[in-house]
Amino acid sequence: MQERTYEKYFRQNRLPHIWCPGCGNGTVMKAIVEAVEKRKLPRDKTVIVSGIGCSSRASGYMDFDTLHTAHGRAIPFATGIKLANPELNVIVITGDGDCTAIGGNHFIHGARRNIDLTVVLFNNAIYGMTGGQASPMTPLHKKATTAPYGSVDRPFDACQLASAAGASYVARSTAFHVQHLTDMIAEGISVEGFSFIEAVVQCPTAYGRKNKMPEPAQMMAWLRDHAVLQKAWDKLPEEKRSDKFPIGVFLKRQFEEYTKAYAEVIASAQGGKK
């Protein structure tokens, strides 16, 4: 039997978790620790920072220094940690509402600064914790308790947002594509700069039940059938794309990382240069 080496990264005494049966959040949490293991991040020099929401509860189960902040504010807290002590590896866990609604401004500014954070967005397309209200990533015409006739608010593509705002690494995967998801996160960790990984997750309770997919297996099948690897996506004619979405690495580029740039400010203020 394969050894479950990732288990050491969990606080066994905090489990079982609070998530619903069939929720995708646990899968992404596991993918994160497997990526941490793959990248051999020293555990005592790794900090997990989360916002507020079902997804953000993950920090409490992970055996690192962990910080469960306020709704939408994980990225500013994480920025402070990283800038105060650049030797720390900082991973941010956030939800679609947390990251792109209340925390939207912090999200684009984190990407703009290109500070070395790995941000994993658990996208369940809904506000799970508060019982199924629409989020800025709820697809058009899908139902939510606050969009009982279907949402007419155009959703964000968080990957495009991160790219446009200046991130160094942008990728997407799903809770169905576990190995792929782990690889996407692991690569994000290794990139120096702002890395953003959108993990599309099933929320059978708050999203599925409202949108004709009440069973976790139905939602998993939906993820399997609608996620298209980037290469195949590029060849897919427009009319066949409909409600499908691409997964894979969308962007990887080099640009000076923020704490590195600030170290130069310190050197110059201390009379090293200029």
Partner 1 sequence: MTEMKLMQGNEACAAGAIAAGVRFFGGYPITPSTEIAETMAKKLPALGGCFIQMEDEISGMGVVLGASLAGRKVLTATSGPGFSLKQELIGYAACAEIPVVIVDVQRVGPSTGQPTSPSQGDVMQVRWGTHGDHPMIALSPWTVRETFDAAVMAVNYAERFRTPVILLMDEIVGHLRENVQLPNASDITVYPRRRPTKSRAAGYQPYEPEQDMVPNPADFGTGYRIHVTGLIHDYTGFPSGSPVVTEKFIDRLHRKIAIAQDEITHYDEFFMEDAEYAVVSYGGVARTAYEAVRKARAKGLKVGMIRLMTIWPFANKIIEQTAEKVRAILVPELNYGQLKYEVERAAAGRCPVSLLAKYNTLLFTPDEIVDGIENLTGGRI
Please report, as ranges, the residues that interact with ligand SF4 according to CB under 6 A: 19-20, 23, 25, 54, 124, 128, 203-206
Q: What stretch of H or E contains 68?
A: strand 65-68
Of 28, 31, 48, 52, the one binding ligand TPP by CB under 6 A: 52
- Which residue's CB is nearer to partner 1, number 250 or number 258? 258
Two structure tokens written together for 246? 């691409």
Question: Binder to ligand TPP among 22, 97, 208, 216 (CB under 6 A)?
Answer: 97
Element (H, E) at 251: strand 245-252
Bridge-based pairing state of the strands 245-252 and 89-95: unpaired
Residues whose CB is less than 8 angstroms from the CB of residue 114 and which lie 6 or more positions away in sequence, other chains included: 166, 167, 168, 193, 194, 255, 256, 257, 258
Return d(Cα 152, Cα 197) in angstroms, integer: 26
CA distances from 14 to 57, 142, 145 (A): 11, 35, 31
Q: What x-and-dash track marks residues 13-32 binding partner 1 by CB under 8 A?
A: -x------------------
Site membership for ligand TPP, residue 71 (CB under 6 A): yes
Contact, 187 vs 249, CB < 8 A?
Answer: yes
Which of 6, 64, 122, 176 contacts partner 1 by CB under 8 A?
Answer: 64
Burial group, residue 266, by CB count within 10 angstroms (0-12, 13-18, 19+):
exposed
Closer by beta carbon to ligand TPP, 72 or else 188: 72
Q: Does 47 bind partner 1 (CB under 8 A)?
A: yes
Minimum CB–partner distance for residue 201 and ligand TPP (Å)? 8
Q: Is 250 an interacting residue with respect to partner 1 (CB under 8 A)?
A: no
Count CA atoms within 13 Å of residue 10 on its CB side: 19
Task: Please tell me the count of residues contacting partner 1 according to CB under 8 A.
Answer: 39
Q: Pick what 157 binds: partner 1, ligand TPP, ligand SF4, none; C-beta below 5 to 8 Å, kind-dependent.
A: none
CB of 55 or CB of 89, closer to ligand TPP: 55
- Segment near ligand TPP (CB under 6 A), from 51-59, 74-82, 188-196, 208-216? 51-59
**Does the footprint of partner 1 cover residue 44 (CB under 8 A)?**
yes
Q: Which of 238, 270, 273, 274 binds partner 1 (CB under 8 A)?
A: 270
β-bridge partners, 48: 66, 91
- Span 91-150, contacts to partner 1 by CB under 8 A: 105-106, 109
Phi, psi of 168 (to 5 degrees): -90, -25
Least distance in angstroms from the C-beta of 223 to partner 1: 30
CB of 225 to ligand SF4, least distance (A): 20
Token couple for 249: 């690495």
Q: Which residue has the tokens 């409600």?
A: 243
Task: Enumerate binding residues for partner 1 (CB under 8 A).
Answer: 14, 43-45, 47, 49, 59-60, 63-70, 73, 75-85, 87-88, 105-106, 109, 262, 265-266, 268-270
